[in-house]
Structure 1
Amino acid sequence: MAKGLGKGINALFSGLDVKSEDTIQEISVTDLRPNPYQPRKIFHPEAIQELKESILQHGILQPIIARKTIKGFEIVVGERRFRAAKEAGLSTVPVVMKEFSEKQMMELALLENLQREDLTPIEEAMAYQTLIEQLHMTQEQLAARLGKSRPHIANHLRLLTLPEEIQDWISHGKLTMGHGRALLSIKDKTLIVSIAEKVQKEKMSVRELEEFVSSLNQSVSRETKNKKPEKDVFIRQSEAVLRESLGTSVFIKQTKKKGKIEIEFFSKEDLDRLLELLRVSREEM
């Protein structure tokens, strides 16, 4: 069930092990509140139910670790046990009090949850992002500390660049992480949400989505290659002024360092008219 951190959470933080000299107190469940830094947004009812049945049969085998605050008691480790105990109808739970700073509370909540396999890909990504920001680590350093590969960290973090509705669909299991990665490769970013909706409607597999995106990107590349670059506002305004002044079609083509102006005429008389406007006589030509 546990995913191995590089050194294990107990090795990263002293004081997490319950020792024989620690005092175990029975604390009312109404006096306990979850760790405010808890990254887990979704607690699967099946897992809580399974833990509840275990508690009803065997009791809480491992005390919850908490810290005392001016607002009561905050859970440091053991929120799932706490939730299952409430579901089981327990009025009190065994608790060991420890002292932890705000920063340690945040790190512990993230690291404890990263050991479990039931975090959603988005929750896992958000946990990585928070650790990188709070601990001032690079992806490589975090990967080494957690015993994971750098690509594993990077692939999760990329999910956070997806639109929020797609992140929500991944969190609720409507799309997989594989779908998310395939959606990230779409060149035309305005299409991402509509394609994600198409995936759900047509129940596309990751492989089918990858093939669809590959075909779509090839089409976008062809359109981009054939599409002429849009002229800037100054060039378009200049063309409009010249067209109005000369009474004919005028095109300005600009490159990095130079450019040219093309003026259309439709007869010898039309050319003479333009030359007159430009104050150029045939004798000067």
Structure 2
Amino acid sequence: MTVKTIPLSEIVSNHNNPRTTFNEESIEQLAQSIKQDGVLQNLIVKPVEGGYEVVVGGRRLRSLRLLLEQGEINSNFSVPVRIQDNQPDNDNLRIAVVENVQREQMHPLDEAEAFLKLTQEGVDLKEVAAQSGVSIYFMKRRLLLGNLIDDSKTAYREEKISLSAAEALAMGNAEDQKLLLERLNDGYVLNPHKIRNMLLCDKPSVSIALFDKEKYTGSITADLFEAEDNTYFDDVGQFNELQDEAVEKLMQDLENDPDVDWVGIERDDHFEHWRYDEAEEGENGGVMIHYRLDGNVEIYRGLVVRENTKTLDDSKPKERPEFTQKAYGYFANQKTILAQQAITKNIRKAKEIDVLQRINLFRDANIKTHQAIKSLSGEQKDSAECELLTQIEQDLMEFLGIELKDRWYVFDSWGVNRSAYYEAVKSLTDEQLDQLFVLLVAISFGKEVTTREETRDSLFYLFANDLDITPRDGWTPNEEFFKLHKKDQLLAIAEACGASIGKQLYKLKRKDLIAELVAYYANSNPLQNEAQQALKDSFCPRLMQFEAEASEA
């Protein structure tokens, strides 16, 4: 390695510099230090065509260029350097990363990209960790930030979210991150705990699986910040199917075990220990399998049933909920949109709803847009079934001059000219005022419960029944709908809607079955079989129905 001085003009920046974010204040401070005392530590460079490229010393080079720009030095200023000859590029990258990590703290996203480049170059991360004084765990946390989508990275660089919130956000896929960022733009405070809860809701931990993990073909979410149980199955339906099979096999194995007198299973969140005693010494006793609703399995061995509990009338064990909270939320939002569309055509119902809303919100009449409106994607906004959304945008622009843009469902009164809005409203005709009133009431109305099915005597259903809504007039089964179901549920749907006629769909894997059903409804050409066409057109799942006597189909 040669040590010498070379003109500043011959030194070029390293386009692979792992540091992309620089603290301008620290660069200026370093420039003043160089102006007063000179360059105290050599830059490490490598020969390139037309000069030398910096390997280590990017901050010193920026400071020198700042002095050049300020006229304090000229382009021939002598810079002390060490020249590396014939050094592999991945070694140069490793040295640059170590130097940057050891010196002024790099931005975590820069560290993430640098560590990722090292892994792609095949560099041993243990060596980098040892030389830079950071742990492998630290490096893994930085690598996780590479999962962030561009908008998430921008939010973090602009300090809209903290590092810990960014790390939590990185556990989600692109769709999850976009949804959470929308909430952030709406004014929600997204702390790491809230983000993890939103991302991991309903997802079972990999650690509770009884089946061979290689059987699972879906994606997983890893949480590097919890001590245990930190990896989760994203496809809850597939997990449930595989776990059911594993529990069934476990029961069969136990029933064939000569050292087990009997086998039972209890499907509930709580195990009724009080019903059992431990078997006497020398006795085998039975085995109870506690299969919790979240998929966790606990096994209790060597049990005997207490005498005073044998005659009790045991209630039927609880079944796993038919749908996840996400699924119930989907149905709630879809039915809410249908109800809102109906309300826009019925001013009488709009006035009835408004009266009840104002009674319930008497102390704080802050009537907000229902979350169902916010849940719709950009594609849905442009579809015929959501013409309501186009109407919102057109009416608010025409009557009040409000342009909603990206956050079109948020009515932000901060900084607006209230008197101008008052004059705009006052100038509306009675017909225009009624039109705007009924629209704003409609989009504030909807299901109050979105994590389970409401009772049929709720206000939502009472109004919806009066509105005489036909779900299939504004809703069609699509991929989002089908993905909410397990394979056995999809097969039942296929039979109910006629998609299974003439096909052996039971042979398909769940994802292929979903694709088949999506294609079935995407095809708008009339079917030759009229009976099958009738099934296709009339199919409506129970949770999409409004009638009090909704069928169980």
Q: TM-score, normalised by structure 1?
A: 0.64
Residue 161 and residue 104 in structure 1: after superposition, are their counterparts in 2 closer, same or farther (change >3 A)? same
Contact 1:66-1:77 at 8 Å conserved across structures: yes
| Cα-to-partner distance string for 1:146-174 (whole Å, 9 max, x where unaligned) | 44333222221111112122123323433
Q: Residue type matched to 1:190 in 2?
A: E
1:147-186 equivalences in 2 (<5 Å): 147-186=133-172
Unaligned ranges ≥5, structure 1: 1-14, 16-21, 251-285
1:63 to partner: Cα distance? 2.8
1:76 to partner: Cα distance? 2.4
**Partners in 1 of 2:67 and 2:25 — Cα distance?**
14
1:31 to partner: Cα distance? 1.5
1:32 to partner: Cα distance? 0.8
Residue 31 and residue 201 in structure 1: after superposition, are their counterparts in 2 closer, same or farther (change >3 A)? farther
Residue 205 and residue 218 in structure 1: after superposition, are their counterparts in 2 closer, same or farther (change >3 A)? closer
SS of 1:75's equivalent?
strand
1:107-146 equivalences in 2 (<5 Å): 107-137=94-124, 143-144=129-130, 146=132
**Partners in 1 of 2:55 and 2:532 — Cα distance?**
79
Deviates more, 1:65-74 or 1:215-224: 215-224
1:180-199 equivalences in 2 (<5 Å): 180-186=166-172, 190-199=175-184
- Give 1:84's aligned residue: 63
Contact 1:175-1:200 at 8 Å conserved across structures: no
SS of 1:84's equivalent?
helix
Contact 1:126-1:157 at 8 Å conserved across structures: yes
Residue 46 and residue 247 in structure 1: after superposition, are their counterparts in 2 closer, same or farther (change >3 A)? closer
- Give 2:210's aligned residue: none
**Partners in 1 of 2:48 and 2:152 — Cα distance?**
37
- Give 1:95's aligned residue: 80
Identical aligned residues as a percent:
22
| Cα-to-partner distance string for 1:225-263 (whole Å, 9 max, x where unaligned) | 88543637976523498973589859xxxxxxxxxxxxx
Choose from 35, 39, 46 the match for 1:67: 46
**Partners in 2 of 1:148 and 1:41 — Cα distance?**
20
Residue 166 and residue 38 in structure 1: after superposition, are their counterparts in 2 closer, same or farther (change >3 A)? same
Residue 244 and residue 205 in structure 1: after superposition, are their counterparts in 2 closer, same or farther (change >3 A)? closer
Contact 1:37-1:109 at 8 Å conserved across structures: no
Unaligned ranges ≥5, structure 2: 204-323, 329-451, 453-483, 502-519, 521-526, 537-553
1:73 to partner: Cα distance? 1.4
Residue 49 and residue 234 in structure 1: after superposition, are their counterparts in 2 closer, same or farther (change >3 A)? same
**Partners in 2 of 1:143 and 1:61 — Cα distance?**
26
Contact 1:37-1:105 at 8 Å conserved across structures: no
1:140 to partner: Cα distance? 5.6
Contact 1:67-1:75 at 8 Å conserved across structures: yes
Residue 194 and residue 247 in structure 1: after superposition, are their counterparts in 2 closer, same or farther (change >3 A)? closer
SS of 1:160's equivalent?
helix
- Give 2:197's aligned residue: 214
Q: Residue type matched to 1:214 in 2?
A: N
SS of 2:183's equivalent?
helix
Q: TM-score, normalised by structure 2?
A: 0.36
**Partners in 1 of 2:533 and 2:49 — Cα distance?**
81
| Cα-to-partner distance string for 1:26-51 (whole Å, 9 max, x where unaligned) | x3322210123211112221110111
**Partners in 2 of 1:248 and 1:200 — Cα distance?**
44
- Give 1:262's aligned residue: none
Contact 1:48-1:83 at 8 Å conserved across structures: yes
- Give 2:530's aligned residue: 244
- Name which structure has the greater RCO, CA cutoff 8 Å, separation 6+: 1
Q: Residue type matched to 1:60 in 2?
A: V
SS of 1:118's equivalent?
coil
| Cα-to-partner distance string for 1:129-159 (whole Å, 9 max, x where unaligned) | 111221343x566545544333222221111
Residue 223 and residue 74 in structure 1: after superposition, are their counterparts in 2 closer, same or farther (change >3 A)? closer
SS of 2:19's equivalent?
coil
1:124 to partner: Cα distance? 0.6
**Partners in 1 of 2:198 and 2:91 — Cα distance?**
48
**Partners in 1 of 2:115 and 2:101 — Cα distance?**
9
Deviates more, 1:167-176 or 1:234-243: 234-243
Choose from 466, 487, 490 the match for 1:231: 490
